[in-house]
Amino acid sequence: MWKRILTFTAAGVLTLAAGGIGYVSLRQPNRMPAEAIQVSMTKDTITRGRYLFTVVADCDGCHSLRDTGKFSAPAVASGRGRGWTMPKELGLPGDVVAPNITPDVETGIGAWTDGEKIRAIREGVGRDGRALFPMMPYQNFAKMSDADVQALVAYMNTLPAIRNPLPKTRLDFPVNYLIAGVPAPARNVPAVNQEDKLGWGRYLVTIAGCGHCHTPMQKGEPLPGMEFAGGEPFRLGTMKAVSANITPDTDTGIGKMSEAEFVERFQQYRKYAVTGVPDVKPESFTLMPWMAFSRMSREELSAIYTYLRTVKPVHHSVETHPVN
């Protein structure tokens, strides 16, 4: 999603020239006051929240310390939520920091109300009212049900506070102004009915961000007609992986994969939770969060499979582990 912002840039410069800087710099994100709410801290909500944080919504992926020397760079529990500065090589428009979201009062979000946390997660508005850089996938999390987002916050409230001072995100001009248009209110979101397998699958695919990584981008925009068709490169140092085509195309996608094979493709990695995660090798390098997603239930993976069968098949052959 952040890549889309890069293309806003060219159009944005024109807006500035035409509309005048005054308007743009005064523009405020579309925000409502945070809800006055205190989430219920029961054992069930905390368990559900931990599951969302570490498995389905993979908050770990950006906000926790990760062991990049291991297969799929799994999160390190002792560094959960501590935040970090995004590396320069990602080519982001400025210095982007995934903040410390532990309850540390000084360097984390310990002083925030629960309502402010929920607003940041679903609506992309910071405590101070600023628009968050949409690399934070709040446009997806806007679909998260009230029950789920409250459970998530209940769990976040139980994280050990980690003192980790980080700089604030500093975006380049004019991206810093343009993102003001991205936040949008998201309130009263009902839970999905899990008997509606397709709807549940769509929900899981949305909050897990499958589309972000599996849709190829061109000039910062997702390529129209190529949803879930793969081809986005991911690099770490000299290692490279390319996201797979997960549309139902039978030649180049997952059209020939049975539901059982799909479920096994994920759950095979459960063994590493017991045996230890192996060191990453150039040929096994990936940033697909396999260790997190391997913990999804058979029912969830089955719902995801059901939904992915309904997306448009795209013939697009991808080499996921290219030889460098």
Q: What is d(CA 37, CA 223) in angstroms, rounded to the nearest whole number? A: 40
Instruction: Answer yes or no whether residue 235 interacts with ligand HEC by CB under 6 A.
Output: no
Assess 63 for contact with ligand HEC (CB under 6 A): yes
Instruction: Give min distance, CB of 214 to ligand HEC, in A.
Output: 6
Q: Tell me if 303 contacts ligand HEC by CB under 6 A.
A: no
Q: 173 vs 234, which CB is nearer to ligand HEC?
A: 234
Minimum distance from residue 6 beta carbon to ligand HEC (Å) = 15
Residue 304 binds ligand HEC (CB under 6 A): yes
Cβ distance to ligand HEC smaller for residue 15 or 95: 95
Residue 7 vs 255, nearer CB to ligand HEC = 255
Buried b vs exposed e over 279-291: b needs ≥16 C-beta within 10 Å?
A: ebeeeebbbbbbb
Tell me which of 5, 46, 51, 58 binds ligand HEC, using CB under 6 A: 58
The piece of 28-36, 115-123, 181-189, 190-198 that touches ligand HEC (CB under 6 A) is 115-123
Any contact of residue 286 with ligand HEC (CB under 6 A)?
Answer: yes
Site for ligand HEC in 171-230 (CB under 6 A): 205, 208-210, 213-214
Write down the least CB distance from residue 225 to ligand HEC, Å. 19
Give whichever of 46 and 57 is closer to ligand HEC, judged by the CB atom: 57
Q: Is 98 in the site for ligand HEC (CB under 6 A)?
A: yes
For ligand HEC, which residue of 192, 220, 287, 309 counts as binding (CB under 6 A)? Answer: 287
Give the residue among 186, 185, 189, 216 at the shortest CA–CA distance from 203: 189
- What residues from 134 to 163 belong to the interface with ligand HEC (CB under 6 A)? 135-137, 141, 152
Report the residue number, 22 or 32, with the smaller CB distance to ligand HEC: 32
List of residues contacting ligand HEC (CB under 6 A): 57-59, 61-63, 96-99, 101, 109, 117, 120-121, 126, 132-133, 135-137, 141, 152, 169, 205, 208-210, 213-214, 234, 241, 243-244, 246, 254, 265, 286-289, 293, 304, 320
